[in-house]
Structure 1
Amino acid sequence: MMDDSKFYRGYFVASVDEIRDVLRHNLKKNNQESVLCSLVFAHESHEITKRQLVEKVGYWNFRSKKDIHFFFPGYLGDTSIGDSEFGPNLSKLVFSDETFVECIEIIERHSNWKYIGTPTMLLFQGTLYEDVAYLDTETMIDINFQKSLDAKLIPSIEELFEILIRVGQKNHTGTIDAHLLRHLFGKSIYNSVIDTIFANLPIKMEPFTSTIDAIRLVS
């Protein structure tokens, strides 16, 4: 089990096991049964990762407190204090392709989600049952950063994280459904999700919008 100092190095976590460790610790500490969580799959080679993601991981998790947790798989965090008391020591941050891929494959095996190779965020519910933490991967929201920016579905990555933090403050159980999509991104995304559901039924429907490629409900 990791000590508190590592929990607040920004949730750079190498593996699903470490995510569950952190989740279990925080749910017990905050006397919660469930919480909204996010897995951010952002390979270190992508420009978005370098410019807009890793440097703010500590800030986002400190700001979000107990309301939502942001995890960055594949990054081996450092327990020493960096520029901020609650921030990671970025000069010692190490990225592991092996553990990054391992985490992707675990999530793919336990869900209908497939990694497409570009930075993406998965929203899911984390739960605690009989002292064991679980990642509910049966229903998730998949947000592809670049596609969402290109389609103008999100104003910026920084604002997306702030929106999620505010949503987490209201969504205390971390429940994931199409209505959460509507709350986050508006009616057009909600309708796209509903259209996708109907598209898989044996009835004829109008084509659903392309925005579904950027933000979608995975279930």
Structure 2
Amino acid sequence: MLMLRKIVFFLFVFVGLSLFAQQDYMVSSYVRGNFYNRGRISTESLRASDDLIFLNVHPNKDGSLSFEIPRAFQGKGVTTWEGLIKSVRAKVKGTKVKIRLGASSGEWKAMVADEAARTTFAKNIKTVLEKNKLDGIDLDFEWAENEKEYKDYSLAILKMREVLGNKYLFSVSLHPVCYKISKEAIEAVDFISLQCYGPSPVRFPIEKYCSDIQMVLEYG
């Protein structure tokens, strides 16, 4: 069964905050360069996180990588993804925060549908992690819409774990409308973040929040 320790419930305040219950809580935050350059992510928030995920890479259909370049704000700020990581590292120095790469969007559906591209993608991610001394990878691919896409995505998850081994922290981000990856893929990751927004009395009341979480847990 999908254990509670593998579920991460997401809250968002400028960056995505996620919690998962083991003996305590882990706070995982998405960091976007454009928000960072605008001063919308405080140093206090960065230092309070246990896990910082830099959503900077997008897969091409052949498994190669395209990187998101942060835009300067009023002539100031970092303008490379490497510079973004370096700047944040300086601010969290002395903490035990994990620094991870986040992959999203791009041509992910075409990539995961091709066996060779899946392998190339995983190897390219590993190279980036090694070169930049990062702690792992988070996949935020939205969304699989049919059985084949779930199967392809699951195979890509398995390939990523095969290539990375157990050295790196590996998570995937799913959603109450899109969570049915294979049981093997579930077991391959360290944890799963669930984009179950809220609770919010206006849009996502507590009843909906809890039922979405329970639905995913029952999937197993």
As a proportion of its length, which structure holds more helix?
Answer: 1
How high is the TM-score relative to the length of structure 1? 0.24
